RNA sequence: CGGGGAGUGGCGCAGCCUGGUAGCGCACCUGUUUUGGGUACAGGGGGUCGCAAGUUCGAAUCUUGUCUCCCCGACCA
């Protein structure tokens, strides 16, 4: 409806990149910090991250993995041990070379030349090497295995081009690292982690994903296998939402992670690593955001229900507040999706209408307004953020519900919102994956002719390697396309390779990507 | 890192070409008004124009450097 007055100035369909930035500022998620590529995550954005942390951490612990913390600084020499790893990260590393500043005589400070570090330290871009060191100390016998560690930390990668949440120089993440006796066990763990991600991202963030293996040229530096979950954003681009790697024995070799087996022989461990980051918040924005701001899925919403009293500087204000407080208390005693309902009674001064739009932009799942008349009728005015508009009249859709009915139905309401956000995203994704193209020229043409939101294409290929693969990558690059992954649950190949015409061996997803 | 664009009150922008030390909308504050829904009117507060140096009697405006952001490219577990 064109007569709807949306809360944002930019619409998704007009300028998706600009819209994305506007959501971040309008929903008060984060802001620029003045330091290149680094952002300040504000309370509402951080609150969403904390919800993710809590839910993911529960899953990690339930899988028998323990949290620990390793240093931010890694000796340079550690990095030099694994050749592919060096190649992958060397060009984007922050390096610490001094440990003291002195006055430069002009009122400023400079690194003290006399305080140069013997060996430079790098700021971790990931922790395989330093955790590998620890594992080498901790593992002696087959009885010490499997060793399964996770850490929540910040990492730094000196990115050339940054975008808030999606690619920042410093970001927050969790990285899991495990060591196993055999290849089979390590592979099993690689998949278990991937499945943990799929479940958390789909069930908690309401972001449908496709799990699969990354092609050879997209592997983590040093990994034997890299698996990912890929999500489709509202502009049809793909976002790698999490990765899980089987590292083989190369990191074990580099760090000396060995165990004595039951026969008394020294064996190398097989290791894995897997990670998800604050990039997921960017995914939530681009999956669930709309032209009125963010829509936060209830499971990760810091406040699931926000109550706004309509205060007017009148004597009955106190009664309205008391009534709201009763509603708040009653809701807090209710549970939804396995946890107590999180309710905020927003008593901050200010007009109710202004506060309402603030919470709309932030994406609180349910907004409840209460005025004197609601109170006298024993009702509340309820808005669902995922169904904000009455399309008939272009006004906000509000249902005036008896208080007790609202309270007792709140649990189900939140579940419904969680489900409907997921269903909406899943349907959109499914409607935008095209299958059946059999020639490369068709694929190239498809992406050229389908405008701004072409979505993804699933095609078959012969899984080329070496020079043949390089040629394919060049072809894709010319169209700004990438191979996302080989979907784990896709059907077996039954056709020919779109690149070579040979017999195909598997199906791949091709898409533009973040 | 290469090419292009931009930084002016919280947000969005005008002013810059043709130097004379700031203005608009929204937001904010005060008052009145209105009151089932992003009310209206009046008054008001807030910015040394990213930072630094230079040219000039005088710089938001011209020059240079620098930082940050955006777009394209290269690069990116």
Domain range spanning residue A322? Answer: 303-417
Among residues A260, A288, A316, the one where a domain terminates is A288
CA A295 from chain center: how many Å?
Answer: 15
Residues A282, A377, single domain; the answer is no
Q: Is A293 among the domain residues?
A: no
What span, in angstroms and rounded, lies between the C-alpha atoms of A175 and A151?
5
From its phi and psi, is residue A371 left (phi > 0), alpha (psi between -120 and 50) or beta? Answer: beta
Closest CA to A420 of A385, A394, A455, A390: A385
Separation of CA A480 and C1' B51 in angstroms? 38
Query: What residues are paired with A270 via a beta bridge?
Result: A180
What span, in angstroms and rounded, lies between the C-alpha atoms of A178 and A188?
11
Token pair for A338: 């396995």
Separation of CA A347 and C1' B32 in angstroms? 25
Q: Is A427 among the domain residues?
A: no
CATH number at residue A195: 3.30.930.10
Q: Is A5 among the domain residues?
A: no
Separation of CA A258 and C1' B55 in angstroms? 70
Separation of CA A389 and C1' B29 in angstroms? 32
Nearest nucleotide to A478 (CA to C1') is B73
Nearest nucleotide to A223 (CA to C1') is B77
Residues A77, A168, single domain; the answer is yes
Residues A106, A199, single domain; the answer is yes
Nearest nucleotide to A480 (CA to C1') is B73
Separation of CA A260 and C1' B27 in angstroms? 68
Nearest nucleotide to A381 (CA to C1') is B36
Number of domains in chain A: 3
Separation of CA A217 and C1' B18 in angstroms? 58
Residues A210, A147, single domain; the answer is yes
Residues A69, A210, single domain; the answer is yes
The pLDDT score that the predictor gives to residue A349 is 80
Q: Is A164 among the domain residues?
A: yes
Among residues A262, A288, A314, the one where a domain terminates is A288
Phi then psi for residue A64, to 5 deg, are 80, 20
Q: Is A124 among the domain residues?
A: yes
Please give chain A's pLDDT, 514 residues, in tens: 456 888 888 888 888 988 999 999 999 999 988 888 999 999 999 999 999 999 999 999 999 999 999 999 999 888 888 878 888 888 889 999 999 888 877 777 888 889 999 999 999 999 999 999 999 999 999 999 999 999 999 999 999 889 999 999 999 999 999 999 999 999 999 999 999 999 999 999 999 999 999 999 999 989 999 999 999 999 999 999 999 999 999 999 999 999 999 999 999 999 999 999 999 999 999 999 999 999 999 999 999 999 999 887 777 788 899 999 999 999 999 999 999 999 999 988 878 888 999 999 999 999 999 988 899 999 999 999 999 998 888 888 999 999 999 999 999 999 999 999 999 999 999 999 999 999 999 999 999 887 778 899 999 999 999 889 999 999 999 889 999 999 999 999 999 999 999 999 999 999 999 9
Q: Is A424 among the domain residues?
A: no
Closest protein residue to B72 (Cα–C1') = A161
Separation of CA A187 and C1' B37 in angstroms? 58
Nearest nucleotide to A125 (CA to C1') is B77
Separation of CA A506 and C1' B21 in angstroms? 70
CATH number at residue A491: 3.30.110.30
Nearest nucleotide to A15 (CA to C1') is B71
Residues A105, A187, single domain; the answer is yes
Residues A409, A452, single domain; the answer is no
Separation of CA A65 and C1' B59 in angstroms? 63
Nearest nucleotide to A380 (CA to C1') is B36
Among residues A417, A446, A475, the one where a domain terminates is A417
Residues A308, A181, single domain; the answer is no
Give the bases of strand B that a protein CB approaches within 7 Å.
1-2, 11-12, 27-29, 34-39, 67-77
Phi then psi for residue A362, to 5 deg, are -75, -25
Task: Identify the residue whose tokens are 């000196």.
Answer: A158
Give Cβ neighbours of residue A178 (< 8 Å, ≥ 6 apart).
Answer: A65, A146, A147, A148, A149, A186, A189, A271, A272, A273
Q: Is A503 among the domain residues?
A: yes
What span, in angstroms and rounded, lies between the C-alpha atoms of A406 and A377?
13
Q: Is A429 among the domain residues?
A: no
What span, in angstroms and rounded, lies between the C-alpha atoms of A484 and A217?
11
- How large is the ipTM? 0.89
* H-helix or E-strand spanning residue A24: helix A16-26
What span, in angstroms and rounded, lies between the C-alpha atoms of A199 and A206?
10
> Residue A461, SS3?
strand
Separation of CA A339 and C1' B75 in angstroms? 43
Closest protein residue to B74 (Cα–C1') = A160
Closest protein residue to B34 (Cα–C1') = A312
Map A289-351 to HEC letters: CECCECCCCHHHCCCCEEEEECCCCCCCHHHHHHHHHHHHHHHHCCEECCEECCEEECCCCCC
Whether A112 contacts A98, CB under 8 Å: yes
Nearest nucleotide to A357 (CA to C1') is B38
Whether A461 contacts A217, CB under 8 Å: no
């Amino acid at each position: 409806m064109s007569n709807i007055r949306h809360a944002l100035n930019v619409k998704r369909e007009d300028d998706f990149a600009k819209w994305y930035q506007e959501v971040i500022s309008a929903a008060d998620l984060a802001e620029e910090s003045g330091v290149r590529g680094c952002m300040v995550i504000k309370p509402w954005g951080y609150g969403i991250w904390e919800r993710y942390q809590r839910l993911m951490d529960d899953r990690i612990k339930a899988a028998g993995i323990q949290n620990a913390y390793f240093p931010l600084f890694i000796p340079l020499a550690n990095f030099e041990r694994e050749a592919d790893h060096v190649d992958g990260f060397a060009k984007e590393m922050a390096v610490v070379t001094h440990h003291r500043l002195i006055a430069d005589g002009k009122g400023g400070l400079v690194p003290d030349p006399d305080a140069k570090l013997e060996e430079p330290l790098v700021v971790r871009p990931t922790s395989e090497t330093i955790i590998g060191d620890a594992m080498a100390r901790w593992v002696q016998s087959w009885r010490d295995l499997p060793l399964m560690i996770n850490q929540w930390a910040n990492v730094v990668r000196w990115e050339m081009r940054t975008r808030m949440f999606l690619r920042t120089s410093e970001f927050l993440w969790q990285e899991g690292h495990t060591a196993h006796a055999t290849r089979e066990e390590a592979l099993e763990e690689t998949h278990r982690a991937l499945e943990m991600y799929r479940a958390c991202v789909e069930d908690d963030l309401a972001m449908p994903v496709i799990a699969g293996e990354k092609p050879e040229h997209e592997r983590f530096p040093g990994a034997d296998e890299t698996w990912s979950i890929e999500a489709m954003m509202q502009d049809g681009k793909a976002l790698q939402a999490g990765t899980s790697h089987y590292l083989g024995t190369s990191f074990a070799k580099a760090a000396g992670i060995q165990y004595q087996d039951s026969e008394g022989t020294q064996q190398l461990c097989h290791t894995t690593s897997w990670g998800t980051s604050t990039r997921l918040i960017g995914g939530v924005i681009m999956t669930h955001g709309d032209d009125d701001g963010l829509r936060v899925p209830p499971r990760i919403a810091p406040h699931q229900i926000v109550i706004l009293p309509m205060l007017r500087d009148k004597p009955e204000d106190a009664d309205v507040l008391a009534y709201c407080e009763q509603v708040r208390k009653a809701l807090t005693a209710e549970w939804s999706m396995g946890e107590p309902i999180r309710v905020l009674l927003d008593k901050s001064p200010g007009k109710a209408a202004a506060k309402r739009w603030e919470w709309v932009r932030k994406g609180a799942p349910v907004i409840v307004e209460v005025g004197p008349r609601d109170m006298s009728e024993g009702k509340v005015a309820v808005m669902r953020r995922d169904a904000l508009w009455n399309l008939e009249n272009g006004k906000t859709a509000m249902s005036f519900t008896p208080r007790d009915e609202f309270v007792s139905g709140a649990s189900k309401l939140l579940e419904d919102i969680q489900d409907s956000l997921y269903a909406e995203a899943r349907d959109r994704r499914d409607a935008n994956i095209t299958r059946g193209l059999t020639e490369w020229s068709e694929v190239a043409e498809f992406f050229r002719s389908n405008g701004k939101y072409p979505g993804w294409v699933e095609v078959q290929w012969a899984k080329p390697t070496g020079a043949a693969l390089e040629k394919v990558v060049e072809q894709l690059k010319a169209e700004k396309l990438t191979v996302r992954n080989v979907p784990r649950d896709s059907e077996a190949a039954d056709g020919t390779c779109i690149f070579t015409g040979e017999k195909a061996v598997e199906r791949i997803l091709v898409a533009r990507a973040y």
